[in-house]
Amino acid sequence: MRYPLDFEATFSKTYLFWLSKFTRNKITTLSNRNVTDKDRLAQIIQHLAQGSDNIKVLKQWLNDARNIGMGGIHVYFRPLEKLYEYLMRFGAASMREIDEELLSDFLASETSQLSDASKKNYRIALLSFFSYIDKQNSDENGTAYHYGIELKNWGGLGGKGGIKLPSYLNKDEVQRFIAAIDAYEFKTPEIGIRNRLIIKLILYTGIRVGEAIGVKKSDFFKDEDTYVIQVRGKGNKPRVVMIREKIIQSDLLAWLEIHHCHDGLMFCNQKGTKLTQAYLSRIVEQILISAGIRKEKNGCHMLRHTFATLLYQKSHDLILVQESLGHADINTSRIYTHFDKEKLKKTTDIF
């Protein structure tokens, strides 16, 4: 049976619901050759099937499973328990707030003192957990939410292909992409106004797509020739970004004239409800294709990498990049130093 991604009323209950389902699945697939009490194991599996909204109760069940000889389950549970604590500290409100970047932040902060073997276990546990959810969630229309977590860019350990630098647009490609945004034919003029506005907002400020679709109308403030926008990052942490008035003024005024969004949202679909990240990523990819631009990653997050890369190339200020992107750890921002061409050019003069 499949379940909606945000199945329970609160994030805590939803996360523990999925963790119960996942650990039950793992217990039924791990070797049971060393189990000494099959009746107790059957009870534990039944408990997990029913689930628990208390992390301590869930942990006790799995400790009992380990004590009767079910080895290996703690390798999966311990990292996911730590992730739960991490997300609760930052006030997560939905499973949809979890993405590759958040998990990389978590791994960077939580595994710094661990051995390489333990780091690998953390990565395996996260990959297994979100792959399981990918396959088991479904909304009322039968559509599944897909995380697609790979963690290849995590600095602690590389994936099968090693650590990969993020895809981004160079300056020429940015100009072609901007021209393509304005030239692209959307289904309706209203959709075009909205999509141009939100895509330019992501490109020119580097905000996450999840932050963009959650922006409220009341979060926009005019300050001389600039719009100041308050966004809510991971853990509901607020920060401020800025964009020049001339970049969005025409589309912004046109959008406000037809604005019909519920719950105070700035952007919404035709029903007045929140846009999805998947929809915006598809639109960005289609615009890139229309401009003749192909990258390994063509979604909205690539626009965030583009902003950060060009910002670092221009400013050489890693703190500015960290603050602009809302990274909790500066090490997450450090990846963009790999694109400092002026420093790299110095290596060509060694001989």
Q: Which domain holds residue 132?
A: 11-136
Answer yes or no: do 189 and 298 share one domain: yes
Pair (112, 190) in one structural domain = no
Residues 208 and 326 in one domain: yes
State how many domains the chain has: 2
The helix (run of H) or strand (run of E) holding residue 154 is none
DSSP state, residue 159: B
229 and 94 within one domain = no
Is-contact 131 76, C-beta < 8 A?
no
Query: What's the CA gap between 115 and 107, in Å, rounded?
Result: 13
How many Å apart are CA 153 and CA 35, to the nearest integer?
38
**297 belongs to a structural domain:** yes
**Residue 103 CB: number of other CB atoms within 10 A?**
23
Q: Is residue 323 part of a domain?
A: yes
Q: Kindly state the tokens that stand for 103.
A: 């998990």
- 205 in the same domain as 333: yes
Using CA atoms, how far apart are residues 315 and 330, in angstroms rounded to an integer? Answer: 16
**Do 325 and 244 share a domain, yes or no?**
yes
Residues 202 and 95 in one domain: no
Shared domain check, 188 and 294 = yes
Same domain, 131 and 186: no
Q: What is the DSSP letter of 216?
A: B
- Catalytic residue numbers, as ranges: 208, 234, 301, 304, 327, 336
Is residue 177 in some structural domain? yes
pLDDT (tens place) for every residue of the chain, 351 residues total: 889 999 888 999 999 999 999 999 999 988 777 788 889 999 999 999 999 999 999 999 999 998 888 878 989 999 999 999 999 988 888 999 898 888 988 998 888 888 777 888 999 999 999 999 999 999 888 889 999 898 876 656 544 444 456 788 999 999 999 999 999 999 999 999 999 999 999 999 999 888 898 899 999 999 999 999 999 876 667 899 999 999 999 999 999 999 999 989 999 999 898 888 878 988 999 999 999 998 877 778 889 999 999 998 888 888 898 888 888 777 778 778 776 766 767 767 767
Residues 110 and 250 in one domain: no
With respect to residue 165, please indicate whether it lies within any of the assigned structural domains.
Answer: no
Q: What residues form DSSP beta bridges with 223?
A: 226
Considering the domain architecture, whether residues 185 and 317 belong to the same structural domain is answered as yes
Q: For residue 340, what are the CA distances in angstroms to 168, 316, 335, 337, 346?
A: 13, 8, 10, 6, 11
In a domain, residue 163? The reply is: no
Q: Tell me, yes or no, whether 179 and 131 share the same domain.
A: no
Q: What is the CATH number of the domain that holds 219?
A: 1.10.443.10
SS (H, E, C) 47-114: HHHHCCCCHHHHHHHHHHHHHCCCCCHHHHHHHHHHHHHHHHHCCCCCHHHCCHHHHHHHHHHHCCCC
Residues sharing a CB contact under 8 Å with residue 147, sequence separation 6 or more, in sequence order:
98, 99, 130, 131, 133, 134
**151 domain residue, yes or no:** no
Query: How many other C-beta atoms are found inside a 10 Å radius of the C-beta of residue 123?
Result: 22
What pTM does this model have? 0.57
Please give the Cα distance from 330 to 223 (Å, whole number): 29
